[in-house]
Amino acid sequence: LWAEITAQIKTEVSADSYDRWFRDIEPVELDEKTLTLRVPNSIFQLWIENNYQAHLRSVVMLVLGSPRNIHYVYQDETKIAPPPKVLTPAQKPKAEPAEPRMPAGGTSGFNPRNNFDSFVVGTNNQFAHAACKAVSDAPARTYNPLFIYGGVGLGKTHLMHAIGHAILSKRKPGKVVYITSEAFTNEFIDAIQNNTLIKFRKRYRQADVLLIDDIQFLADKGRTQEEFFHTFNTLFDGHKQIVLSSDRPPSEIANLETRLVSRFEWGLTAELQAPDIETRVAILRKKAQSVEIQLDDEIIQFLAARIRTNVRRLEGALMRVASYVSLSHGRLPGMEKIEHLLKDILHEEARRAITIDQIQKRVAEHFDVRLADMTSKRRPANIAFPRQIAMFLARELTKTSLNEIGEAFGGRDHGTVLHAHRLVREKMTKDERTRQIVSFLESQLTR
Ligand code: ADP
Ligand code: MG
């Protein structure tokens, strides 16, 4: 089974990442609830949890047929001894077994590292942070519901777990339930199939605090929305705290029933923005400290300057450097080495940061056409071709959906974008000059 799991993972991560992070994992135990994996050291656990946890879980679920919690144990410490130059004996990472789980009762999903103490507050997130604090100090008595939104890797899940921890550490915490809306959907479907709706409803409708993460996954899931609507009403009417997170504000979640949108807006809506440079530096320092690794300021500044849009990625970069340091017995990598180590991360960062706007400007400039022609309906070849190239690049270099790209190009539909993409790709294989132009523009944009 493990072979099947790794085979599946192999198809979806780069060969480089696979060799670096997955090859040395050994399965040690499997039971109905938990899959225990042995990894070389805590850095592996952190890395996998930060970057591949969801992916690993879903592969495990796929192969085993039902979900498992994933626990980690570390290899004998002597195999990868922490380098003495970097770590003083007192700071040695402990080869402790996987983190203890939260008490039963539906709260086992909390990551103990995601608490308020480990959350770095900056201007980008202070409002959301304060709102979360207020809610955990006095559940259901301040903002209800609390709706937190922001892009991937900006700390939504971290804050939700932090609320959970804070409330659970109270003398009378009540019943705290955390779940992603995806898991909520799956449980709901299971409950229907297994005739256990009563139990399912009890679990959610009798919560004192319900934390529901990534609510945007309810888009398009009418039946689950209906169920959640009733859950929401029961809790709200019973003066129970509800906290929701999403990657966008309620009104921008496609195909979310308006009655849910309006309820989500009843309480307080708080946005998490990308951290500024000071916050990024502070996060890196804190994180380096927590994995007990000392990096010079130059490295920290470099990482903070280059990785701007996603804290998870920032941490990923740090962990990769940390792992290098650990495997090379404490030697700090030089800047060139770091560039090399982080090549794919830096590339990914550049990709994410590119906007359709920038692409349109750059392409218009290159072909000496007006920017307005990128969005106009005019179709002479000297305009249509650059426009197609811009659509191609938008699809390749941004995470934007076909529909949104079409929108950005003067309200064209997604079929037009798809067509342009195919056309340019074909042309690139047949025509060397097109290939050169596209790769030149791409390299300029991702620089
Ligand atoms: P989201 O749920 O918004 O996608 P996460 O909460 O999973 O993002 O955050 C991604 C990673 O970044 C986590 O490891 C989290 O601990 C870390 N992180 C995000 N924001 C902060 C912050 N302000 N301080 C410390 N760590 C943070
Ligand atoms: Mg999250």
Q: Are residues 225 and 325 in the same domain?
A: no
Q: Which residues contact 100 (CB under 8 A, 6 or more apart)?
A: 112
- Domain limit, last residue, from 216, 245, 271: 271
Atom from ligand 1 closest to the CA of residue 275: 23
Which amino acid is it at 404?
E
Residue 412 gets which letter from DSSP? -
Domain span at 147: 126-271
Q: Are residues 266 and 134 in the same domain?
A: yes
Q: Is residue 264 part of a domain?
A: yes
Q: Is the whole model's pTM more than 0.95, yes or no?
A: no
| pLDDT at residue 218, as a whole number | 92
Q: Where are the beta strands (DSSP E) in 64-136?
A: 69-74
Q: For residue 187, what are the CA distances in angstroms to 105, 193, 274?
A: 15, 10, 32
For ligand 1, is residue 50 a contact (CB within 6 Å)?
yes
The full length of the chain comes to: 447
Q: CA–CA separation, 241 vs 176, rounded Å?
A: 9
Q: CA–CA separation, 425 vs 435, rounded Å?
A: 9
Identify the H or E element spanning 102. none
Q: CA–CA separation, 403 vs 412, rounded Å?
A: 8
Q: Are residues 132 and 253 in the same domain?
A: yes
Q: Tens digits of per-residue pLDDT, 194-229?
A: 999 999 999 999 999 999 999 999 988 888 999 999
CATH code for position 393: 1.10.1750.10
CATH code for position 24: 3.30.300.180
Q: Are residues 13 and 45 in the same domain?
A: yes
Q: Is residue 117 part of a domain?
A: no
Percent of the chain with pLDDT over 70: 90
For ligand 1, is residue 248 a contact (CB within 6 Å)?
no
Q: Tens digits of per-residue pLDDT, 350-372?
A: 776 788 999 999 999 999 999 99
Q: Is residue 96 part of a domain?
A: no
| pLDDT at residue 155, as a whole number | 97
Asked if the model's pLDDT at residue 424 lies above 90, the reply is yes
Atom from ligand 1 closest to the CA of residue 119: 24
Q: Is residue 389 part of a domain?
A: yes
CB 36 within 8 A of CB 30: yes
pLDDT category of residue 83 using cuts at 50, 70 and 90:
very low
Q: Is residue 149 part of a domain?
A: yes
Asked if the model's pLDDT at residue 281 lies above 90, the reply is yes
* Contacts by residues 28-33 (CB-CB < 8 Å, ≥ 24 positions apart): 28/73, 30/1, 30/64, 30/68, 33/68, 33/69
Q: Whose CA is nearest to atom 20 of ligand 1?
A: 155
Q: Is residue 290 part of a domain?
A: yes
Q: How many structural domains does the chain have? A: 4
Q: Tens digits of per-residue pLDDT, 165-184?
A: 999 999 888 999 999 999 99
Q: Are residues 405 and 345 in the same domain?
A: no
Nearest to 136 by CA among 113, 108, 123, 117: 117
Q: CA–CA separation, 424 vs 431, rounded Å?
A: 10
- Domain limit, last residue, from 336, 352, 368: 352
Lowest mean pLDDT among 7-11, 138-142, 360-364, 367-371: 7-11
Q: In terms of pLDDT, which residue wins out, 309 or 197? A: 197
Q: Are residues 141 and 265 in the same domain?
A: yes
For ligand 1, is residue 389 a contact (CB within 6 Å)?
no
For ligand 1, is residue 181 a contact (CB within 6 Å)?
no
Q: Are residues 302 and 423 in the same domain?
A: no
Q: CA–CA separation, 114 vs 158, rounded Å?
A: 5
For ligand 1, is residue 283 a contact (CB within 6 Å)?
yes
Q: In terms of pLDDT, which residue wins out, 77 or 112? A: 112
| pLDDT at residue 232, as a whole number | 97
- Beta bridge partner(s), residue 270: 148
CATH code for position 336: 1.10.8.60
Q: Are residues 266 and 282 in the same domain?
A: no
Q: Is residue 23 part of a domain?
A: yes
For ligand 1, is residue 125 a contact (CB within 6 Å)?
yes
Q: Whose CA is nearest to atom 6 of ligand 1?
A: 155
Distance 311 CA to ligand 2 centre (A): 11
- Domain limit, last residue, from 324, 352, 380: 352
Atom from ligand 1 closest to the CA of residue 311: 12
Q: Is residue 102 part of a domain?
A: no
Q: Are residues 200 and 256 in the same domain?
A: yes
Q: Are residues 375 and 428 in the same domain?
A: yes
| pLDDT at residue 154, as a whole number | 95
Here the tokens at position 96 are 């402790």
Q: Are residues 77 and 28 in the same domain?
A: yes
Distance 171 CA to ligand 1 centre (A): 27
Cα angle for residues 424, 430, 435 (degrees, 5° grid)? 55
Asked if the model's pLDDT at residue 262 lies above 60, the reply is yes
Q: Are residues 290 and 231 in the same domain?
A: no
Distance 53 CA to ligand 1 centre (A): 14
Q: Give one DSSP letter per residue of 303-342, joined into a string.
A: HHHH--S-HHHHHHHHHHHHHHHHHTTTPPPPHHHHHHHT
For ligand 1, is residue 152 a contact (CB within 6 Å)?
yes
Q: Which of 154, 217, 272 to mutate to test the pocket of ligand 1 (most atoms within 8 A of CB)?
A: 154
